[in-house]
Amino acid sequence: MKRLVLVLGLTCGLAAVSCATNPATGRRQLILMSEQEEIALGKQSDADIRKQMGVYEDRELQQYVDRIGMRLARQSYRPELPWTFTVVDEPAVNAFALPGGFIYVTRGILPFLRNEAELAGVLGHEVGHVDARHSVDQYSKQLLTQGALAGASVFLPRWQSALGAGSVAAQFAFLKFGRDAELEADRLGVGYASGGGWAPRAMEGVLGTLGRLDAAQGSRRGVPNWAMTHPPAEDRVVKIQDAVTAASAKGGTATNPAEYERVIDRIVYGDSREKGMVRGSEFVHPVLRFSLRFPDGWEIVNGADQVSATESEQGNVMMLLELSPDKSGSPEQAARADMSQAGLRELDGRSGRINGLDAYVATYEGVVQQTRVLFRAAHIRSGQQMYIVGGLTSATEFPRADRLFSAAIQSFRQLTVQEADRIQPSRITFYTARSGDSWESIAKQAGSGMRPNTLAIMNGSDPGTPPRAGARLRVVAGG
Protein backbone atom coordinates (compact mmCIF):
# COMPACT_ATOMS: atom_id res chain seq x y z
CA MET A 1 0.00 0.00 0.00
CA LYS A 2 2.83 2.42 0.81
CA ARG A 3 4.40 1.66 -2.57
CA LEU A 4 1.10 2.46 -4.34
CA VAL A 5 0.81 5.78 -2.52
CA LEU A 6 4.40 6.61 -3.51
CA VAL A 7 3.77 5.85 -7.18
CA LEU A 8 0.55 7.87 -7.22
CA GLY A 9 2.41 10.72 -5.64
CA LEU A 10 5.13 10.55 -8.27
CA THR A 11 2.51 10.49 -11.03
CA CYS A 12 0.65 13.48 -9.63
CA GLY A 13 3.92 15.29 -9.10
CA LEU A 14 4.94 14.75 -12.70
CA ALA A 15 1.51 15.88 -13.87
CA ALA A 16 1.69 19.01 -11.78
CA VAL A 17 5.09 19.92 -13.19
CA SER A 18 4.23 19.02 -16.80
CA CYS A 19 0.72 20.37 -17.12
CA ALA A 20 1.17 23.83 -18.61
CA THR A 21 -0.30 26.10 -21.26
CA ASN A 22 1.27 25.61 -24.67
CA PRO A 23 1.99 29.07 -26.14
CA ALA A 24 1.47 27.83 -29.71
CA THR A 25 -2.07 26.54 -29.10
CA GLY A 26 -3.23 28.25 -25.90
CA ARG A 27 -4.23 24.83 -24.52
CA ARG A 28 -3.10 23.19 -21.29
CA GLN A 29 -1.30 19.90 -21.86
CA LEU A 30 -0.22 17.02 -19.65
CA ILE A 31 3.32 16.22 -20.85
CA LEU A 32 5.18 13.41 -19.11
CA MET A 33 8.63 14.21 -20.46
CA SER A 34 10.92 17.21 -20.36
CA GLU A 35 12.04 19.05 -23.46
CA GLN A 36 15.46 17.42 -23.12
CA GLU A 37 13.82 13.98 -23.08
CA GLU A 38 11.69 14.95 -26.07
CA ILE A 39 14.82 15.88 -28.03
CA ALA A 40 16.56 12.67 -26.99
CA LEU A 41 13.54 10.65 -28.11
CA GLY A 42 13.54 12.49 -31.44
CA LYS A 43 17.26 11.85 -32.00
CA GLN A 44 16.90 8.15 -31.28
CA SER A 45 13.92 7.83 -33.58
CA ASP A 46 15.63 9.92 -36.26
CA ALA A 47 18.41 7.34 -36.49
CA ASP A 48 15.79 4.60 -36.97
CA ILE A 49 13.96 6.55 -39.69
CA ARG A 50 17.18 7.21 -41.60
CA LYS A 51 18.10 3.54 -41.42
CA GLN A 52 14.64 2.22 -42.35
CA MET A 53 13.68 4.70 -45.07
CA GLY A 54 17.03 6.03 -46.23
CA VAL A 55 17.96 9.63 -47.02
CA TYR A 56 17.43 10.66 -50.64
CA GLU A 57 20.79 11.28 -52.27
CA ASP A 58 20.53 14.77 -53.70
CA ARG A 59 22.59 17.30 -51.76
CA GLU A 60 21.13 20.37 -53.48
CA LEU A 61 17.55 19.23 -52.86
CA GLN A 62 18.30 18.42 -49.23
CA GLN A 63 19.86 21.85 -48.67
CA TYR A 64 16.91 23.53 -50.38
CA VAL A 65 14.34 21.78 -48.16
CA ASP A 66 16.41 22.41 -45.04
CA ARG A 67 16.75 26.10 -45.89
CA ILE A 68 12.99 26.51 -46.24
CA GLY A 69 12.38 24.48 -43.09
CA MET A 70 14.78 26.54 -40.97
CA ARG A 71 13.09 29.75 -42.13
CA LEU A 72 9.80 28.28 -40.90
CA ALA A 73 11.34 27.09 -37.63
CA ARG A 74 12.45 30.64 -36.88
CA GLN A 75 8.78 31.67 -37.07
CA SER A 76 7.78 28.97 -34.55
CA TYR A 77 7.32 29.21 -30.81
CA ARG A 78 10.27 26.85 -30.26
CA PRO A 79 13.09 28.20 -32.47
CA GLU A 80 15.74 26.86 -30.07
CA LEU A 81 15.00 23.20 -30.89
CA PRO A 82 17.63 21.31 -32.96
CA TRP A 83 15.43 21.44 -36.07
CA THR A 84 16.30 19.21 -39.04
CA PHE A 85 14.44 18.84 -42.34
CA THR A 86 15.11 15.72 -44.41
CA VAL A 87 13.90 14.23 -47.69
CA VAL A 88 13.62 10.47 -47.17
CA ASP A 89 13.93 7.96 -49.99
CA GLU A 90 10.31 6.80 -50.04
CA PRO A 91 7.92 6.87 -53.02
CA ALA A 92 4.74 7.31 -50.98
CA VAL A 93 3.14 10.76 -50.71
CA ASN A 94 3.84 11.60 -47.10
CA ALA A 95 5.27 14.03 -44.57
CA PHE A 96 5.67 13.58 -40.82
CA ALA A 97 7.43 14.90 -37.73
CA LEU A 98 9.21 13.39 -34.74
CA PRO A 99 9.36 15.01 -31.31
CA GLY A 100 12.15 17.52 -30.81
CA GLY A 101 12.07 19.12 -34.26
CA PHE A 102 12.86 16.31 -36.71
CA ILE A 103 10.80 16.85 -39.88
CA TYR A 104 10.59 14.59 -42.95
CA VAL A 105 9.08 14.75 -46.42
CA THR A 106 9.20 11.82 -48.79
CA ARG A 107 10.56 12.32 -52.28
CA GLY A 108 7.18 10.96 -53.40
CA ILE A 109 5.27 14.05 -52.23
CA LEU A 110 7.52 16.60 -53.96
CA PRO A 111 6.33 16.08 -57.58
CA PHE A 112 2.74 16.76 -56.44
CA LEU A 113 3.53 20.16 -54.89
CA ARG A 114 3.17 22.98 -57.38
CA ASN A 115 5.68 25.45 -56.00
CA GLU A 116 7.89 26.47 -53.09
CA ALA A 117 4.99 28.00 -51.17
CA GLU A 118 3.17 24.65 -51.15
CA LEU A 119 6.32 22.94 -49.84
CA ALA A 120 6.50 25.61 -47.13
CA GLY A 121 2.87 24.85 -46.26
CA VAL A 122 3.59 21.13 -45.82
CA LEU A 123 6.75 21.74 -43.78
CA GLY A 124 4.98 24.43 -41.76
CA HIS A 125 2.19 21.99 -40.93
CA GLU A 126 4.73 19.52 -39.54
CA VAL A 127 6.52 22.29 -37.62
CA GLY A 128 3.11 23.06 -36.14
CA HIS A 129 2.81 19.48 -34.85
CA VAL A 130 6.16 19.83 -33.07
CA ASP A 131 5.35 23.30 -31.76
CA ALA A 132 2.03 22.07 -30.39
CA ARG A 133 3.77 18.94 -29.04
CA HIS A 134 1.02 16.77 -30.51
CA SER A 135 3.08 13.56 -30.74
CA VAL A 136 4.49 14.05 -27.24
CA ASP A 137 0.97 14.67 -25.98
CA GLN A 138 -0.26 11.43 -27.54
CA TYR A 139 2.78 9.53 -26.35
CA SER A 140 2.18 10.75 -22.79
CA LYS A 141 -1.46 9.63 -22.96
CA GLN A 142 -0.38 6.22 -24.26
CA LEU A 143 2.06 5.86 -21.40
CA LEU A 144 -0.72 6.53 -18.93
CA THR A 145 -3.19 4.27 -20.75
CA GLN A 146 -0.72 1.42 -20.93
CA GLY A 147 0.17 1.79 -17.27
CA ALA A 148 3.75 2.68 -17.98
CA LEU A 149 3.90 4.67 -14.75
CA ALA A 150 2.72 1.77 -12.64
CA GLY A 151 5.04 0.13 -10.10
CA ALA A 152 8.64 1.25 -10.48
CA SER A 153 7.96 2.94 -13.77
CA VAL A 154 10.23 5.88 -13.05
CA PHE A 155 13.13 3.49 -13.62
CA LEU A 156 11.86 2.19 -16.99
CA PRO A 157 13.17 3.55 -20.31
CA ARG A 158 11.12 6.59 -21.21
CA TRP A 159 10.90 5.68 -24.87
CA GLN A 160 9.99 2.04 -24.91
CA SER A 161 7.21 1.23 -27.35
CA ALA A 162 3.95 2.33 -25.78
CA LEU A 163 2.10 -0.24 -27.85
CA GLY A 164 4.51 -3.08 -27.15
CA ALA A 165 5.32 -3.73 -30.82
CA GLY A 166 7.39 -2.01 -33.48
CA SER A 167 9.89 0.80 -33.09
CA VAL A 168 9.01 4.14 -31.56
CA ALA A 169 10.13 5.79 -34.79
CA ALA A 170 7.59 3.80 -36.77
CA GLN A 171 4.83 4.77 -34.34
CA PHE A 172 5.49 8.46 -34.89
CA ALA A 173 5.84 8.09 -38.68
CA PHE A 174 2.43 6.37 -38.87
CA LEU A 175 0.78 8.44 -36.17
CA LYS A 176 -2.73 9.65 -36.93
CA PHE A 177 -3.67 12.72 -34.92
CA GLY A 178 -7.18 13.81 -34.03
CA ARG A 179 -9.06 16.30 -36.19
CA ASP A 180 -8.44 19.17 -33.76
CA ALA A 181 -4.69 18.53 -33.76
CA GLU A 182 -4.54 18.49 -37.56
CA LEU A 183 -6.48 21.74 -37.80
CA GLU A 184 -4.17 23.29 -35.22
CA ALA A 185 -1.16 22.24 -37.30
CA ASP A 186 -2.81 23.64 -40.44
CA ARG A 187 -3.44 26.97 -38.72
CA LEU A 188 0.07 27.19 -37.30
CA GLY A 189 1.69 26.10 -40.57
CA VAL A 190 -0.18 28.73 -42.60
CA GLY A 191 0.98 31.39 -40.16
CA TYR A 192 4.61 30.25 -40.22
CA ALA A 193 4.66 30.12 -44.03
CA SER A 194 3.18 33.58 -44.34
CA GLY A 195 5.57 34.93 -41.71
CA GLY A 196 8.44 33.46 -43.73
CA GLY A 197 7.28 35.35 -46.83
CA TRP A 198 5.29 32.66 -48.67
CA ALA A 199 1.73 32.98 -49.96
CA PRO A 200 -0.60 31.53 -47.29
CA ARG A 201 -3.21 30.35 -49.81
CA ALA A 202 -0.72 27.77 -51.10
CA MET A 203 -1.93 25.36 -48.42
CA GLU A 204 -5.32 25.29 -50.12
CA GLY A 205 -3.59 24.06 -53.26
CA VAL A 206 -1.79 21.33 -51.32
CA LEU A 207 -5.00 20.07 -49.77
CA GLY A 208 -6.87 20.17 -53.09
CA THR A 209 -4.15 18.20 -54.90
CA LEU A 210 -3.79 15.56 -52.20
CA GLY A 211 -7.55 15.19 -51.93
CA ARG A 212 -7.84 14.53 -55.68
CA LEU A 213 -4.89 12.17 -55.57
CA ASP A 214 -6.36 10.17 -52.71
CA ALA A 215 -9.73 9.93 -54.46
CA ALA A 216 -8.11 8.82 -57.72
CA GLN A 217 -5.56 6.34 -56.40
CA GLY A 218 -6.65 5.30 -52.94
CA SER A 219 -4.19 4.66 -50.12
CA ARG A 220 -0.93 2.94 -50.91
CA ARG A 221 0.09 0.18 -48.56
CA GLY A 222 3.50 0.24 -46.91
CA VAL A 223 4.12 3.88 -45.98
CA PRO A 224 0.78 5.73 -45.70
CA ASN A 225 0.15 8.75 -47.84
CA TRP A 226 -0.48 12.17 -46.35
CA ALA A 227 -4.17 12.09 -47.11
CA MET A 228 -4.60 8.75 -45.31
CA THR A 229 -3.09 9.96 -42.04
CA HIS A 230 -4.98 13.26 -42.09
CA PRO A 231 -8.68 14.27 -42.08
CA PRO A 232 -10.44 14.73 -45.46
CA ALA A 233 -8.81 17.52 -47.45
CA GLU A 234 -12.07 19.21 -48.43
CA ASP A 235 -12.97 19.65 -44.75
CA ARG A 236 -9.61 21.21 -44.00
CA VAL A 237 -9.80 23.68 -46.88
CA VAL A 238 -12.96 25.13 -45.33
CA LYS A 239 -11.52 25.13 -41.81
CA ILE A 240 -8.31 27.01 -42.67
CA GLN A 241 -10.03 29.98 -44.32
CA ASP A 242 -9.84 32.10 -41.16
CA ALA A 243 -6.16 31.23 -40.75
CA VAL A 244 -5.44 32.13 -44.38
CA THR A 245 -7.25 35.46 -44.04
CA ALA A 246 -5.37 36.29 -40.84
CA ALA A 247 -2.01 35.22 -42.29
CA SER A 248 -2.53 37.28 -45.44
CA ALA A 249 -2.18 40.38 -43.29
CA LYS A 250 1.47 39.44 -42.75
CA GLY A 251 2.10 40.13 -46.42
CA GLY A 252 3.58 36.81 -47.60
CA THR A 253 3.23 36.48 -51.39
CA ALA A 254 6.18 34.38 -52.66
CA THR A 255 5.54 31.12 -54.54
CA ASN A 256 8.80 30.66 -56.54
CA PRO A 257 7.55 27.98 -58.96
CA ALA A 258 10.58 28.18 -61.27
CA GLU A 259 13.10 27.57 -58.50
CA TYR A 260 11.01 24.72 -57.13
CA GLU A 261 10.77 23.00 -60.49
CA ARG A 262 14.51 23.40 -60.99
CA VAL A 263 15.35 21.45 -57.82
CA ILE A 264 12.85 18.64 -58.44
CA ASP A 265 13.91 18.18 -62.08
CA ARG A 266 15.14 14.56 -62.50
CA ILE A 267 13.99 13.49 -59.02
CA VAL A 268 13.33 9.74 -58.82
CA TYR A 269 9.65 8.87 -59.07
CA GLY A 270 8.37 5.54 -57.79
CA ASP A 271 10.70 2.75 -56.71
CA SER A 272 14.46 3.21 -56.62
CA ARG A 273 17.32 0.97 -57.73
CA GLU A 274 18.47 0.57 -54.12
CA LYS A 275 15.10 -0.78 -52.96
CA GLY A 276 14.13 -2.66 -56.11
CA MET A 277 11.41 -1.82 -58.60
CA VAL A 278 8.03 -3.12 -59.71
CA ARG A 279 7.79 -3.33 -63.49
CA GLY A 280 4.32 -4.60 -64.40
CA SER A 281 4.14 -8.10 -62.91
CA GLU A 282 7.89 -8.31 -62.42
CA PHE A 283 10.00 -7.25 -59.44
CA VAL A 284 13.59 -6.43 -60.35
CA HIS A 285 16.44 -5.48 -58.05
CA PRO A 286 19.38 -4.15 -60.09
CA VAL A 287 21.61 -3.71 -57.05
CA LEU A 288 21.15 -7.25 -55.70
CA ARG A 289 20.83 -8.43 -59.33
CA PHE A 290 17.76 -10.63 -59.35
CA SER A 291 14.33 -10.76 -60.93
CA LEU A 292 11.03 -12.42 -59.98
CA ARG A 293 7.79 -12.47 -61.96
CA PHE A 294 4.56 -12.58 -59.94
CA PRO A 295 1.24 -13.78 -61.43
CA ASP A 296 -0.23 -11.34 -63.96
CA GLY A 297 -2.72 -8.86 -62.57
CA TRP A 298 -1.72 -9.23 -58.92
CA GLU A 299 -1.16 -6.15 -56.78
CA ILE A 300 2.50 -5.89 -55.82
CA VAL A 301 3.69 -3.86 -52.84
CA ASN A 302 7.39 -3.17 -52.36
CA GLY A 303 7.71 -2.82 -48.59
CA ALA A 304 10.74 -2.00 -46.45
CA ASP A 305 11.47 -5.63 -45.49
CA GLN A 306 9.29 -7.67 -47.82
CA VAL A 307 7.77 -7.62 -51.29
CA SER A 308 4.21 -8.95 -51.25
CA ALA A 309 1.71 -9.71 -54.00
CA THR A 310 -2.00 -10.43 -53.57
CA GLU A 311 -4.48 -11.92 -56.00
CA SER A 312 -7.35 -9.73 -54.81
CA GLU A 313 -8.24 -7.08 -52.25
CA GLN A 314 -9.24 -9.80 -49.78
CA GLY A 315 -5.65 -11.05 -49.70
CA ASN A 316 -6.69 -14.69 -49.27
CA VAL A 317 -4.11 -15.79 -51.83
CA MET A 318 -0.75 -14.08 -51.55
CA MET A 319 2.94 -14.36 -52.29
CA LEU A 320 5.99 -12.87 -50.62
CA LEU A 321 9.66 -12.30 -51.28
CA GLU A 322 12.10 -11.58 -48.50
CA LEU A 323 15.66 -12.22 -47.34
CA SER A 324 16.39 -15.16 -45.06
CA PRO A 325 18.46 -14.29 -41.98
CA ASP A 326 20.48 -17.49 -42.58
CA LYS A 327 23.17 -16.74 -45.17
CA SER A 328 25.82 -19.32 -44.23
CA GLY A 329 24.09 -22.69 -44.54
CA SER A 330 22.57 -24.53 -47.46
CA PRO A 331 19.07 -23.63 -48.73
CA GLU A 332 17.72 -26.75 -47.03
CA GLN A 333 19.29 -25.81 -43.68
CA ALA A 334 17.96 -22.25 -43.96
CA ALA A 335 14.49 -23.54 -44.84
CA ARG A 336 14.35 -25.84 -41.83
CA ALA A 337 15.44 -23.05 -39.46
CA ASP A 338 13.19 -20.33 -40.91
CA MET A 339 10.03 -22.38 -41.15
CA SER A 340 10.43 -23.95 -37.74
CA GLN A 341 10.79 -20.50 -36.22
CA ALA A 342 7.66 -19.41 -38.12
CA GLY A 343 5.69 -22.30 -36.61
CA LEU A 344 5.19 -24.10 -39.92
CA ARG A 345 5.48 -27.88 -40.38
CA GLU A 346 7.14 -29.27 -43.49
CA LEU A 347 5.03 -31.73 -45.48
CA ASP A 348 7.46 -32.41 -48.33
CA GLY A 349 10.60 -30.89 -49.78
CA ARG A 350 13.46 -31.37 -52.20
CA SER A 351 16.75 -29.75 -53.14
CA GLY A 352 17.37 -28.70 -56.71
CA ARG A 353 18.29 -25.83 -59.01
CA ILE A 354 16.20 -22.88 -60.19
CA ASN A 355 17.68 -21.16 -63.24
CA GLY A 356 21.12 -22.35 -62.18
CA LEU A 357 20.76 -21.33 -58.51
CA ASP A 358 20.82 -23.73 -55.54
CA ALA A 359 17.34 -24.02 -54.04
CA TYR A 360 15.17 -25.96 -51.65
CA VAL A 361 11.45 -26.08 -52.46
CA ALA A 362 8.93 -27.43 -49.98
CA THR A 363 5.29 -27.33 -48.86
CA TYR A 364 4.53 -26.30 -45.29
CA GLU A 365 1.43 -26.47 -43.12
CA GLY A 366 0.27 -24.06 -40.44
CA VAL A 367 -2.75 -22.41 -38.81
CA VAL A 368 -3.65 -18.74 -39.26
CA GLN A 369 -6.68 -17.41 -37.38
CA GLN A 370 -7.97 -20.95 -36.85
CA THR A 371 -7.71 -21.70 -40.59
CA ARG A 372 -5.42 -24.43 -41.93
CA VAL A 373 -3.08 -22.87 -44.47
CA LEU A 374 -0.48 -24.25 -46.86
CA PHE A 375 2.69 -22.45 -47.88
CA ARG A 376 4.68 -23.35 -51.01
CA ALA A 377 8.12 -21.81 -50.52
CA ALA A 378 11.59 -21.87 -52.01
CA HIS A 379 14.85 -20.92 -50.34
CA ILE A 380 17.17 -19.77 -53.13
CA ARG A 381 20.82 -18.80 -52.86
CA SER A 382 21.94 -16.01 -55.20
CA GLY A 383 25.31 -14.40 -54.64
CA GLN A 384 25.81 -13.76 -50.92
CA GLN A 385 22.07 -13.71 -50.16
CA MET A 386 19.46 -16.34 -49.35
CA TYR A 387 15.97 -15.49 -50.62
CA ILE A 388 12.59 -16.84 -49.57
CA VAL A 389 9.94 -16.90 -52.31
CA GLY A 390 6.60 -18.37 -51.35
CA GLY A 391 2.84 -18.46 -51.77
CA LEU A 392 0.34 -18.78 -48.94
CA THR A 393 -3.38 -19.57 -48.94
CA SER A 394 -5.99 -21.75 -47.26
CA ALA A 395 -5.81 -25.51 -47.70
CA THR A 396 -8.99 -25.43 -49.79
CA GLU A 397 -7.61 -22.78 -52.19
CA PHE A 398 -4.12 -24.30 -52.39
CA PRO A 399 -4.66 -26.81 -55.26
CA ARG A 400 -5.76 -23.98 -57.58
CA ALA A 401 -3.20 -21.43 -56.41
CA ASP A 402 -0.21 -23.77 -56.26
CA ARG A 403 0.19 -23.66 -60.03
CA LEU A 404 0.61 -19.87 -59.84
CA PHE A 405 2.96 -20.14 -56.85
CA SER A 406 5.18 -22.69 -58.60
CA ALA A 407 5.40 -20.66 -61.82
CA ALA A 408 6.44 -17.54 -59.89
CA ILE A 409 9.03 -19.46 -57.88
CA GLN A 410 10.53 -20.93 -61.05
CA SER A 411 10.81 -17.43 -62.57
CA PHE A 412 13.39 -16.30 -59.98
CA ARG A 413 16.67 -15.66 -61.74
CA GLN A 414 19.92 -13.78 -61.39
CA LEU A 415 20.40 -10.72 -63.62
CA THR A 416 23.56 -10.24 -65.62
CA VAL A 417 25.64 -7.14 -64.95
CA GLN A 418 24.54 -5.73 -68.30
CA GLU A 419 20.85 -6.32 -67.53
CA ALA A 420 21.18 -4.71 -64.10
CA ASP A 421 22.94 -1.66 -65.52
CA ARG A 422 20.11 -1.11 -68.00
CA ILE A 423 17.47 -0.98 -65.25
CA GLN A 424 17.04 2.65 -64.21
CA PRO A 425 14.36 4.39 -62.16
CA SER A 426 11.67 6.66 -63.55
CA ARG A 427 12.33 10.36 -63.07
CA ILE A 428 10.45 13.66 -63.22
CA THR A 429 11.17 15.70 -66.30
CA PHE A 430 9.33 18.42 -68.24
CA TYR A 431 7.39 18.54 -71.50
CA THR A 432 5.68 21.33 -73.44
CA ALA A 433 2.13 20.34 -74.34
CA ARG A 434 1.11 20.43 -78.00
CA SER A 435 -2.23 20.94 -79.65
CA GLY A 436 -4.19 17.68 -79.55
CA ASP A 437 -2.30 16.22 -76.62
CA SER A 438 -4.24 14.35 -73.96
CA TRP A 439 -3.15 13.06 -70.58
CA GLU A 440 -3.38 9.54 -72.04
CA SER A 441 -1.14 10.35 -75.02
CA ILE A 442 1.45 12.16 -72.89
CA ALA A 443 1.59 9.32 -70.36
CA LYS A 444 1.98 6.76 -73.15
CA GLN A 445 4.68 8.80 -74.87
CA ALA A 446 6.68 9.12 -71.62
CA GLY A 447 6.75 5.33 -71.38
CA SER A 448 6.77 5.07 -67.58
CA GLY A 449 3.41 3.35 -67.18
CA MET A 450 2.05 6.25 -65.11
CA ARG A 451 -1.73 6.56 -64.97
CA PRO A 452 -3.07 9.51 -67.01
CA ASN A 453 -5.28 10.76 -64.15
CA THR A 454 -2.29 10.80 -61.76
CA LEU A 455 -0.30 12.74 -64.36
CA ALA A 456 -3.08 15.31 -64.60
CA ILE A 457 -3.24 15.73 -60.82
CA MET A 458 0.55 16.10 -60.65
CA ASN A 459 0.14 19.07 -62.99
CA GLY A 460 -2.62 20.67 -60.93
CA SER A 461 -5.32 19.76 -63.43
CA ASP A 462 -8.58 17.91 -63.29
CA PRO A 463 -8.18 14.55 -65.12
CA GLY A 464 -11.19 15.40 -67.26
CA THR A 465 -9.65 18.64 -68.56
CA PRO A 466 -7.09 18.19 -71.39
CA PRO A 467 -3.69 19.91 -71.09
CA ARG A 468 -3.41 23.39 -72.55
CA ALA A 469 -1.20 23.69 -75.63
CA GLY A 470 2.06 25.42 -74.71
CA ALA A 471 1.84 24.53 -71.01
CA ARG A 472 5.02 23.28 -69.35
CA LEU A 473 4.11 19.95 -67.81
CA ARG A 474 5.74 17.54 -65.42
CA VAL A 475 5.98 14.03 -66.80
CA VAL A 476 7.43 10.77 -65.51
CA ALA A 477 9.90 9.34 -67.98
CA GLY A 478 12.26 6.42 -68.32
CA GLY A 479 12.50 3.39 -66.11
Identify the domain boundary among 419, 448, 463: 419
Q: Is residue 271 part of a domain?
A: no
Identify the domain boundary among 419, 439, 459: 419
Q: Is residue 272 part of a domain?
A: no
Identify the domain boundary among 392, 419, 446: 419
Q: Does 300 share its domain with 220?
A: no
Q: Does 183 share its domain with 248?
A: yes
Q: Does 438 share its domain with 397?
A: no
Residues 354, 359, 360, 365, Cα dihedral to 10°: -70
Q: Does 31 share its domain with 130?
A: yes
Query: Do the Cβ atoms of 56 and 111 come closer than 8 Å?
Result: no
Q: What is the pLDDT of residue 1?
A: 35
pTM: 0.80
Q: What is the pLDDT of residue 19?
A: 67
Q: What is the pLDDT of residue 3?
A: 33
Q: What is the pLDDT of residue 253?
A: 93
Q: Does 158 share its domain with 302?
A: no
Domain with residue 288: its CATH number is 3.40.1000.10
pLDDT in tens, the chain (479 residues): 333 333 333 333 444 345 677 776 767 776 777 889 999 999 999 999 998 889 999 999 999 999 999 999 999 999 999 999 999 999 989 999 999 999 999 999 999 999 999 999 999 999 999 998 878 777 666 655 544 333 222 222 222 222 233 455 555 555 556 777 888 898 999 999 999 999 999 999 998 898 888 777 654 444 455 555 565 666 677 778 888 888 887 778 999 999 999 999 999 999 999 999 998 899 999 999 999 999 999 999 888 789 999 998 777 899 999 999 887 889 999 999 999 998 999 999 999 999 999 999 999 999 988 899 999 999 999 989 999 999 999 999 999 999 999 999 999 999 999 999 999 999 999 999 999 999 999 998 887 778 899 999 999 998 889 999 999 999 998 76
Number of domains in the chain: 3
Q: Does 254 share its domain with 291?
A: no
Q: Does 385 share its domain with 448?
A: no
Q: What is the pLDDT of residue 140?
A: 62
Q: What is the pLDDT of residue 328?
A: 80
Q: What is the pLDDT of residue 171?
A: 55
Q: Does 381 share its domain with 242?
A: no
Q: Is residue 269 part of a domain?
A: no
Q: Does 282 share its domain with 402?
A: yes
Q: Is residue 270 part of a domain?
A: no
Provide the domain limits for residue 434: 425-478
